[in-house]
Amino acid sequence: MAEVKTLASELTKEIGNNGSFVRQQNRFTTPFGDGPGELPVEAGRYRILWAAICPWAHRSIIVRRLLGLEEVISVGTASPIRTEHGWEFSLDKGGVDPVLGIRYLPEIYKETDPTYEGRATVPTVVDVTTRQVVNNDYFRLTNYWETVWSTYHKPGAPDLYPEQLRQEIDELNDVLFHEVNNGVYKAGFARSQEAYEAAYDVLFARLDQLEERLANQRYLFGNAITDSDIRLYVTLVRFDAAYYSAFRTNRNRLVDFPNLSAYARDLYQTPGFGDTTDFDAIKKGYHLGQIANNPYRLLPKGPDLSFWNTPHGRETL
């Protein structure tokens, strides 16, 4: 069984001197490819472990679905309610992942590197032939699916990372990560008023800019979905159900942004997005798990999820 560590004790290592949240660096970052020392691209060799609460993991699952890699890369799903032992495979028969035979995610990390002391995070890619964690680089993982895994893309798969836009996509992704994707966590995990308000202000300043950007174009780079849209979507879809209350990012709800909310509904209604979004898992994970400060374990009844299936009107942009 994995060593008992509370999330609070683990996060202590990620709090700066001013009370700000500084996310840990990824430990397993070897890229996929055919170069020396790279992870070989082989169908059936890898298993991605995720939890439906997690935005970093969710975007990898969306890309896997959009590109048709579901028969190529297997998936293991942890419970959205993180335990004191870490992410748990309690959704599976016998409470263990059926391929790896682990109950808690930290077990495979310790098996890979007994000296590893960081948080065991999702998404985690495991080489099932060696039982080793080989990649947990959530920032680059979708880019590998989109490029070096192209041999296994389904016919007609979208080009989510077009070569002519890669520099612009990378630049925007960096902004989205620091100010939006991780920005909500910087607010939610802050341990000082100063750090919380700084993250809050940066987050909403960027959301205001994105609201303007999407006023006259359907997606972030025009009329085709790119990797950047997937990264923004996973935060927006969790905003009203989780971040607004659990992380105190409460200047506006998503529904208060006309363009952002219509854009998010547009993506949700696109195959690969809504059908991989589990609101029950999102609400339980953020409000009942170790992230939450919820001693009576009350699960919010709202928000009204019918919003996500209402017309968005962006087809003509």
Q: Which residues participate in catalysis according to the annotation?
A: 54, 185
Q: Which amino acid is at 295?
A: P
Q: Taking a C-beta distance cutoff of 8 angstroms, is the pair 185, 236 a contact?
A: no
